[in-house]
Chain A
Amino acid sequence: AQTVTQSQPEMSVQEAETVTLSCTYDTSESDYYLFWYKQPPSRQMILVIRQEAYKQQNATENRFSVNFQKAAKSFSLKISDSQLGDAAMYFCAYPGAGSYQLTFGKGTKLSVIP
């Protein structure tokens, strides 16, 4: 069974500062995708960023970037210049080779302090 581990149940960051959320996963595959999803309070879950495992370059979407360490099976999310709207649950997810379903981590609740 695929496993995805988010070791930080809760984190906080000062507004305008940088925070990194960690995620590790278990796989024997060489080519796959990884995802970070964001779920704001009482709002629907949306994709933050996606990484292809065979790409050397870390994915970036505006203030969001990943640190993908394939050998270590680590996929952390960095949020720069944190804003109040970044406060949410963040989930790391891994689909597995050719799998329709996503396996999610248990989530990290991020609070942003004004």
Chain B
Amino acid sequence: DVKVTQSSRYLVKRTGEKVFLECVQDMDHENMFWYRQDPGLGLRLIYFSYDVKMKEKGDIPEGYSVSREKKERFSLILESASTNQTSMYLCASSLGDPVGNIQYFGAGTRLSVL
């Protein structure tokens, strides 16, 4: 089974802190994704990566950055956390060819910024 692991289920941070959300997958997938999930808005893509050190902006990249130094690990960084970044964050991975490929999700990190 594909396993996508997010380092924290719950995280509480203060405004202005630098926050790192970590995601690791064990299936040698080329693609990795970070989504933000908010009630009534569904899932919105923040960033994705199709290869090591490669990244592409999604629909809502403002206030976020990412890092992919190794194939299995994809980090989401909030440079200066703000209260409007309180949300559920989901990581996903998939095989390289985008056509029809299933995305596998982690359990999510619920971030609260106070």
Contacts and interface: CB of A to CB of B under 8 A. Distances in A.
The yes or no verdict on A and B being binding partners is yes
Interface of A: 9, 33, 35, 37, 43-47, 50, 52, 91, 95, 98-102, 104-107
Contacts of A47: 102-103
Given A95-B98, A100-B50, A102-B103, A44 B108 contact: yes
Contacts of A52: 100
Contact of A44 (B33, B99, B107): B107
Contacts of B89: none
Contacts of A104: 42-44
A94 to B, nearest CB: 11
A98 B90 CA distance: 22
Contacts of B106: 44
Contact of B98 (A9, A35, A43, A100): A100
Interface string B36-53: 000011111100101000
Contact of B105 (A33, A45, A99, A105): A45
A99 B98 CA distance: 6
Interface of B: 4, 31, 33, 40-45, 48, 50, 56, 58, 90, 94, 98-100, 102-103, 105-108
A105 B98 contact: no
B9 to A, nearest CB: 9
Contacts of B105: 37, 44-46
A48 B106 CA distance: 16
Nearest to A4: B42
B58 A106 contact: no
B100 A91 contact: no
20 contacts: A35-B102, A43-B107, A46-B105, A47-B102, A47-B103, A50-B102, A91-B42, A95-B99, A95-B100, A98-B99, A100-B33, A100-B48, A100-B50, A100-B98, A101-B33, A101-B48, A101-B58, A102-B45, A104-B42, A104-B44
